[in-house]
Structure 1
Amino acid sequence: MKWRAFIVIFIGILGGLYFRTGANNNDEDDDKMMKNAVRTVSRTIAKKVFAPERPEGAGALVRRSIGTREIRHFTPFLMLDHLVGAGKGFPDHPHRGQETITYVLRGNVDHEDFTGAKGTIGPGDLQFMTAGRGIVHAEMPRVDEDGRAPEMMQLWVDLPEELKDTEPRYRDLLAKEIPIVNPDDNVEVRVISGEAYGVKSVQNLAYTPVVFYDYKVQPGGFIRQPVPDDFNVFLYVMKGSIRINGQEKVDQFYNAVFNEEGNTIAISVNVSAEDEARFILVGGKKLDQEIHQNGPFVETTKEKIQRAFFDFKACVNGFERANKWQSEIGKRMK
């Protein structure tokens, strides 16, 4: 009897250990689930602005949504233009202290600069240009083969202070190099820079870290795009309308800049919508530095801005090749 009692007690102890271990495992699983749930936080809209048409360059029409009174700067972003009327284009002009990202949606854009670089950005192509210590160039849009007016986006991005004196450079990204992902029948995304649905873009496109996605979402479609915690993020609608977090509506030609809290952007298109929505979703690493901008010159102090104007006029300190230089494509205006 004593042995039987001992065995019963022993089995009871083992059973208790087993169930306690199982309970601990369940607790660990619950903790993991809670942590995963906390990790996914959708950002909300901080500000929403409409981009009206305005003249730029030589008779061009753009819709500007960053670089305005409503959104002067949104580090690292300095300006966003949506070209909707080419005019004669953008003849010879300088840049310093920034990078530009040109995305051609339709038509072609010829470019040429004082280093001798020249070429054409075709439909679906992008050009990442680092102005660095100084560059002078021209950009001249052309109609497409069907005679339709060109359409493009251009984004100006601030450079970290330690890279503002770097040499100018280009990185051309061809349409055929851009991964296109269709996670379901309602969603298509061009992964220009970053990662979406497990697919990564071409790397090392710009000095300032940027993610850039071109989304097309059909009625009833939904996306949840992760974004880095230390990036500022905005969204610009080129076609249709969308909803953020299933609530706030963003219509065509509106730019929505997001609050910093959160690491995903949740976007949907109403099932009753008449057509698809197309928008760019862009994020950039926040730069902890002052922004002083005067036209195409971007520095961290007023004194450096004054110096940039002097250097450009005197053709020194990065602008030596600007002396008597004229682009060939700029001569089309004459």
Structure 2
Amino acid sequence: MTIKRKAAWVYAPPSHPGFLGNGHIARPVIQSDYEHSDPFIILMDDMLDKKDDEPAGGPHPHAGFETVTLLLEGTLGDGPEAMTAGDFEMMTAGKGVVHTEVITKKEKFRLLQLWLNLPKKDRHALPRVQRMKGSHAPTRTVDGAAIRLYSGSFAGLSSPIKNYTPVIIATITLAPGATLTEAIPANFNSFLYVLDGDVRVGNESNVKTDEVAWLDLYDDESASQLEVTAGPQGAQFVLYGGLPQKHEIVSHGPFIADSLDEIKQLYADFRHGKMEHILEVAEDHKFAY
């Protein structure tokens, strides 16, 4: 018997001024404790309309998890690492890495950045970075639904992105009144974030623009389906689904670890220059798709 997933919790995350100063609005999409959002730690929706040339941001470290960035609008960065709307990046911080996010000019963009937990056995993995152009992401259009898959397998598509933690990330656009019905693992903790329009999840909850809907979650690998239907104006949303890792984590500043002692060691490693910059990792740990 196939389980039909339901929306167990729907809410509208609040927006507040972001750390980049004037023109930065930040919206924490995940509003629950980690034990309920596992394997997702943080998801921020950052909207920036920077109208001056004062530098903002800078180099900083991460360790113990992966940052997953999806640029929704605008451009970000310069040179070969520059991102344009629809581009995707997954950076495995692992044992510890430094990366630089500096905005030196007028810039306007919107991006989603996720902190994704690593399996305990991979907590200290060697840093790596994977980048995918939006135009290279696997896509499928069927019955008024356009799917662009960035990670995992979904709707008959498979992404080349390498995963430590099994995770599905896709953007989905529905024509007015269109319905999408696709399989999704019952034991994947999953949610929708609606960017535009509204969708009905199953035959019940209606989820509007800027709202989040977490699906009910099961402990086994039973077959399950996600059914979403767009309202009269159509809809666009991002789907996240990941396999819970079911172990406790310790979070402090830019680090995730399994104990407070490990957190202290990470700070010491950073202070003593033991963390390499992401641009300096070995070539066989840089992937472009």
In the other structure, the counterpart of 1:80 is 43
Give the aligned length. 266
Q: How has the CA–CA distance of structure 1 residues 141 and 255 changed in structure 2, closer, same or farther, with 3 Å as cutoff?
A: farther
1:64 aligns with 2:28: yes
SS of the counterpart of 1:149?
Answer: strand
Cα deviation, residue 142, structure 1: 8.4
Residue type at the aligned position of 1:95: H
**Shift in Å at residue 176 of structure 1?**
2.2
What is the SS of the residue equivalent to 1:220? coil
SS, match of residue 181 in structure 1:
strand
Shift of 1:139: 2.2
Q: 2:125 aligns to what SS in structure 1?
A: coil
Change (3 A) 1:141 1:72: farther
Asked if structure 1 preserves the Cα contact closer than 8 Å seen for 2:59 and 2:102, the reply is no
Query: Counterpart in 1 of 2:283?
Result: none
Contact 1:105–1:124 (8 Å) recurs in 2 = yes
Higher relative contact order (CA 8 A, sep 6+): 2
When the two structures are superposed, what TM-score results if normalisation uses the length of structure 2?
0.84
Q: In the TM superposition, what is the alpha-carbon distance from 1:313 to its structure 2 partner?
A: 2.5
Mapped contact 1:110–1:142 kept (Cα < 8 A): no
Identity of aligned residues (%): 28
After superposition, give the CA deviation of every residue in 1:289-314 in whole Å (9 maximum; x if it has no partner).
11211122111222222322232233
What amino acid is the match of 1:207? Y
Paired with 1:321 and 1:190, the residues of 2 have a C-alpha distance of 30
Mapped partners of 2:228, 2:75: distance in 1:
31
Q: For 1:1-334, what aligned pairs fall within 5 Å after superposition?
A: 38=1, 40-59=2-21, 60-66=24-30, 70-73=31-34, 74-87=37-50, 89-110=56-77, 119-140=81-102, 149-184=108-143, 186-204=144-162, 206-261=163-218, 263-270=224-231, 273=232, 275-316=233-274, 319=275
Aligned equivalents of 2:265, 2:39: Cα separation in 1:
22
Unpaired runs of at least 5, structure 1: 1-37, 113-117, 323-334
> By percentage of residues, which structure has more strand?
2
Q: Could you say if the C-alpha distance between residues 294 and 148 of structure 1 is closer, same or farther in structure 2, counting changes exceeding 3 Å?
A: closer
Distance in 2, matches of 1:153 and 1:111, equals 19
Q: Which has the higher helix share?
A: 1
d(CA) in 2 for partners of 1:195 and 1:320? 32
Partner of 2:4, secondary structure, is coil
Q: Which 5+ residue runs of structure 2 have no aligned equivalent?
A: 279-289
Supply the AA of the counterpart residue of 1:84: M
* Native 8 Å contact 1:58 1:91 kept in 2: no
CA distance in 2, matches of 1:320, 1:195: 32
* 1:280 CA drift (Å): 0.6
* C-alpha distance in structure 1 between counterparts of 2:104 and 2:158, whole Å: 31
Inter-partner Cα distance in structure 1 for 2:104 and 2:142: 34
Q: Is the 8 A contact 2:155 2:183 kept in 1?
A: no
